[in-house]
Structure 1
Amino acid sequence: MAHPVIGIIGGGPAGLFCAANIRPQGFRIILFEKKREAGRKLLITGSGRCNLTHGGDIRKFEQHYGEKGAFLKPALRGYTNREIIAFFEERGCPLYADENEKIFPVSEKADDILSVLISACRENNVMIRQHTPVRAVERTSTGFLIQTEWQNIRADILVIATGGASYPSTGSTGDGYRFAKSLGHTITAIGPALAPVYPDKYPFSDLAGISFDEITVSILREGRVARKVTGDLLLTHNGLSGPVILHASRYIRDGDSLRIAFLPEKEHNTIASSITLGSAAAGKRLVKTILSDLPLPARFIQRLTEEAGLSPDCTVAHLSREKRKELLRLLTGWTFLIKSVGGFDQAMATRGGVSLEEINNKTMESRLLPGLYCIGEVLDIDGDSGGYNLQAAFSTAYAAARSISGKIETVSDI
């Protein structure tokens, strides 16, 4: 009997990790990478430092993928963050956790992570065909036909590990969606995720670099709050960024607005009382002086008073009821119409992808076509920043590798 062939499309972290973990021997693994070198997107993660995973409790990881966390539960529990750490450290790549429990290589070089993956594939006799873009895939009576520019290759098992559509210069151009769709799978609408947000009439261009800790951002849709996210925010020259914005971007749709509480909404009454008491006790005090007692940057407070239409010498005594309400609104619920979300060239991840309803969440095998697997970002999964997306890539890759190994053993026993 000829050795079974496993074709893996995509030389990113999911594809490489899957190829490296397929067991036992007696098969051929061929990995197709469209670029001249595998792992190009991995090299830019974490600004080149490669945030592999997060050091927290794996049981709490699910909440970092929104409503898709339930789908990932078996894969995350089947191959945890601790096992990922052990995989790399046992192969001579020590890791460390930063103050936010993000896991990085001690060298802070993504190259070292990629080297481990490539070496593990070589040890597993994986044939890595770089600079070999796949043009199309077909279902055959005995498996799959993988069509490249130069030849067609028949495979008993096919793994789609092409990533999403973010950072297309690295090779993630959405090919996997096309392949999966051609094989009968449903593709949920894709869009940029973990991207900056660009408000209409942005008022903070000259305040770039100012940041805020643990503030709440609400996504408003048709007059209602569609989602609330809490985290750190960063003002840039042309828009909003920082973890809270990156996370919120996954849920933003056309026509949405952002409402930002630069101070906690629960402090609304406290802030209102301080301004009112200030009016009664020291009406001659400047409004900007009263506001300077708040835990906010001075330059931001100045812009706040300008946006509220207050003159620099406005005293608390001359602060009308309407102006006081406007100040409170800006402090606890400044609303911005969203002009756009950063495109795929800026997004760290892609939302949408192969419908999870059509994938077995214990094995990552297609429920429609036996022998077809979808892993990593090609699935309709996107997680928070902080190592959660790579964790999902590794965990789904391992689930597929374990399932494929079981299929090979079954064939070998016949």
Structure 2
Amino acid sequence: MKIIDTETAIIGGGASGLAAAIAASRYGCGNVTVLEKMQRVGKKILSTGNGRCNLTNRNISPADYTGDTELLSYISPDIDNAEDFFSSLGLICRADDNGRVYPYSNAATSVLDALRFAADSSGIRTVCDFTVSEITKTKHGFIITDGETQVKAKRVIIAAGGKAAPSLGSSGEGYELCRSLGHSVTRLFPALAPVRTDIELVKSLKGLRVAADATLISGGRVIDRQSGEVQFTDGALSGICIFNLSAKAAEYINNGEISLDTAPTLGKDELYGLIKSTAAIRASLPCEELLTGIYHKRVGQAMLKKAGIPFSKTCGEISDKDISVLCNLAKDSRYPIRNVSDWSLAQITCGGIPASEVSDKLESLKASCLYLCGEILNIQGKCGGYNLDWAWKSGYTAGMNASLSLSE
């Protein structure tokens, strides 16, 4: 069996793992090894931001996260700003009007290259195609095995990610490694994913997008509200605003609904007046043309059908009551929550190792000299660079503290 001796071993060569490796090296660890089960590191980074890598956001606050948000206070002030971290790696960035930060090249490969170049220049060893089968705590550290190779390490950082996007290497094995070392894991479920609803409600709208205010409701109580573009897919609602509702929506399966206001810039009275005016102008036309000045034709047809207005009517035959029903549907159309889409369509994992099981240095309270970072911990951000920001910062914090502990 091949033996590798290292001071710090990092399980996972994704966003948090690479940041951890760079930090560990910066703070004095001269022997850092990244263990990655895929054929190359950072594969998931390349898919983020539609291939552009939305690596952070300039408007980050604790309100943008759910789960054990106290973990945010554990981040080292040495990486207070992710843009500064990447600037130190030679990456030039720019932000859009919503504060989303991208590499100036608009290519995720630039982000991964900056991380790889930094790792290589620091002498960080990368071992790919390494699937951890067992991790054992010893008197002097840990032994990590993949069947053919054994890694002996004084410090270990688990940065193995979650269960979302299994095609990119995420399968949740990091949780089992943590369990084997005494940790518990909260309920895991996919998030930043489409929300499934009754197929018939969205069947005729598949492929269309509308601007909307989306509100998660259960028992008449507003749980959360997001705004943006909603996409109708095969039996589901999608789009960034729906993704941002999905983590909470998972708690209300078959006990909640999403209300869409598809005329968010118009008050109900104003909308009523516009539809009534259009009905008069288009009096001789079929009623299915009534809403084409406001919506895509298929959206308008779906609303007329839901309102029970027969297509045999002309616009001039639409009653004031019909218009009121249409306005109500435009401002509050309900879609019951049947499920959140599976792991293959999710961007992140909700749940993980609870904050109560790590110190403020992200060191395990169950196994000394073990550090945890990234998606494996129970904290989740919304779309817009928030989860990658957590990955860089938590990875850097874990790597820094693991390295500093070697000299204590």
Structure 2 length-normalised TM:
0.86
**For 1:49, which of 33, 47, 52 is the aligned residue?**
52
Kindly report which structure 2 residues correspond to 1:276-355, keeping only aligned pairs within 5 A, or say none: 291=291, 295-312=294-311, 313=313, 319=319, 321=321, 323=322, 326-355=325-354
Secondary structure of the equivalent of 1:125?
Answer: coil
Structure 2: runs of 5 or more not aligned = none
Shift of 1:377: 0.7
Shift of 1:118: 1.6
The alpha-carbon distance between structure 1 residues 276 and 25, as it changes in their structure 2 partners (threshold 3 A), is closer
2:9 aligns with 7
Distance in 2 between residues matched to 1:27 and 1:302, nearest whole Å: 66
Distance in 1 between residues matched to 2:275 and 2:153, nearest whole Å: 72
Secondary structure of the equivalent of 1:258?
Answer: strand
2:198 aligns with 200
1:358 aligns with 357
Shift of 1:61: 2.6
1:128 aligns with 126
Kindly report which structure 2 residues correspond to 1:88-127, keeping only aligned pairs within 5 A, or say none: 88-127=86-125
Distance in 2 between residues matched to 1:303 and 1:341, nearest whole Å: 24
Distance in 2 between residues matched to 1:334 and 1:232, nearest whole Å: 15
2:263 aligns with 263
Residues 165 and 344 in structure 1, CA contact (< 8 A), matched pair in contact too = yes
Shift of 1:315: 5.3
2:239 aligns with 242
**For 2:18, which of 16, 40, 47 is the aligned residue?**
16
Q: Which runs of 4+ in 1 moved over 6 A?
A: 273-279, 281-290
Distance in 1 between residues matched to 2:54 and 2:111, nearest whole Å: 10
**For 1:32, which of 21, 35, 49 is the aligned residue?**
35
Amino acid at match of 2:213: T
**For 1:252, which of 249, 252, 260 is the aligned residue?**
249
Secondary structure of the equivalent of 2:267?
Answer: helix
Amino acid at match of 1:75: I
Amino acid at match of 1:63: A
2:79 aligns with 79
Amino acid at match of 2:14: G
Distance in 2 between residues matched to 1:282 and 1:113, nearest whole Å: 55
Kindly report which structure 2 residues correspond to 1:115-194, keeping only aligned pairs within 5 A, or say none: 115-194=113-192
Amino acid at match of 1:14: S
Structure 1: runs of 5 or more not aligned = none
Shift of 1:119: 1.9
Residues 78 and 395 in structure 1, CA contact (< 8 A), matched pair in contact too = no
Residues 218 and 227 in structure 1, CA contact (< 8 A), matched pair in contact too = yes
**For 2:215, which of 218, 221, 232 is the aligned residue?**
218
Offset from partner CA, 1:343-365 (integer Å, 9 cap, x none) = 111111111111122123x4211
Residues 11 and 17 in structure 2, CA contact (< 8 A), matched pair in contact too = yes
Distance in 1 between residues matched to 2:215 and 2:379, nearest whole Å: 22
Amino acid at match of 1:309: G
Structure 1 length-normalised TM:
0.85
Offset from partner CA, 1:202-227 (integer Å, 9 cap, x none) = 444444443333x3222233554333
1:403 aligns with 401
The alpha-carbon distance between structure 1 residues 307 and 375, as it changes in their structure 2 partners (threshold 3 A), is same
Deviates more, 1:39-48 or 1:363-372: 363-372
Secondary structure of the equivalent of 1:21?
Answer: helix
Determine whether 1:63 maps to 2:66. Answer: no
**For 1:388, which of 386, 394, 404 is the aligned residue?**
386
Shift of 1:163: 0.5
Shift of 1:401: 1.9
Shift of 1:381: 1.6
